[in-house]
Structure 1
Amino acid sequence: MSPRTLDPAVAVFVAAVNAGDRGAFFAVLTDDATMSDDGTDYGLVPWTEREIFSAEGRMDIETVSADGRSLVATYTNTTWGTMHTRWTFTVTDGKITHFETGQA
């Protein structure tokens, strides 16, 4: 999937996840960004550390919505293995204010 189809902020998010780049990841989020996983709200920093950064998370995009703010990806990390996941992003002024993920 071409990164050109993603909203620019979402493209940075995906690239940061795949590179394990905490700095780029948090730079594309607003200071008060929130997230949920399978409908449950979690603290953003503890969740991302546990599910992405310390678990070597990786997103392989399968499909992207027309607006570039929703996607389906094969997500792999060292904790859970490989999962078919959905991701939806709320973007305001070029930054992500909220993201939702879960089983697709």
Structure 2
Amino acid sequence: MTSSISDPVVEKFVAAVNAGDRDAFFADVLTEDATMSDDGSERDLAAWTEKEVFSPEANGRMKVVDASDDGRTLVVDYTNDTWGTMRTRWIFTVAGDRVSRFETGQAPS
């Protein structure tokens, strides 16, 4: 595995999160019907990203530790101001130039 992201769509996702750019995240990164899950449970994408990523209380950031599956599976040290830093796994489904689904959760140790 490597820490460089070889999929440009996933790279845009990480960049939007790290920039705190909610507008780009929804307008340029995700498909209109994108879905997500957290630790195996389906979540409301807008509500989850607001709470865990974009709100001033969250201030989410992703530091990629490893990338595999052509850059569509990441192990990340994810940090937000609510929970601190945790090692997480992110799996992306890409449709064209957008993410149509992502699944996140605790990374196996």
TM-score bracket, normalised by the shorter chain, equals over 0.9
Match of 2:23 in 1: 23
Amino acid at match of 1:40: S
Runs of 4+ in 1 over 2 A off after TM superposition: none
Query: 1:18, 1:6 → 2: CA distance?
Result: 17
TM-score by length of 1: 0.94
Contact kept, 8 Å, 1:12 with 1:24, in 2: the verdict is no
Match of 1:45 in 2: 46
**Partner letter of residue 40 of structure 2?**
G
User: Once the two structures are aligned, what percentage of the paired residues are identical?
Assistant: 64
Which residue is equivalent to 2:74?
71
Aligned length: 102
User: Which stretch of structure 1 is more off in the superposition, 22-31 or 53-62?
Assistant: 22-31
Per-residue deviation, 1:24: 1.4
Alignment of 1:1-104 (within 5 A): 1-2=3-4, 5-26=5-26, 27-54=28-55, 55-104=58-107
| CA deviations over 1:38-88 (Å, ceiling 9, x no partner) | 000000000000000010000000000041101001000011111000000
Tell me the SS of whatever aligns to 2:71. coil
For 1:74, give the aligned amino acid.
D
Provide the alpha-carbon RMSD of the alignment. 0.9
For 1:46 and 1:6, the matched residues in 2 are separated by 29
With normalisation by structure 2, the TM-score equals: 0.90
Q: Secondary structure at the match of 2:16?
A: helix
Q: Please say if residues 35 and 44 of structure 1, whose CA atoms lie closer than 8 Å, have aligned partners that are also in contact.
A: yes
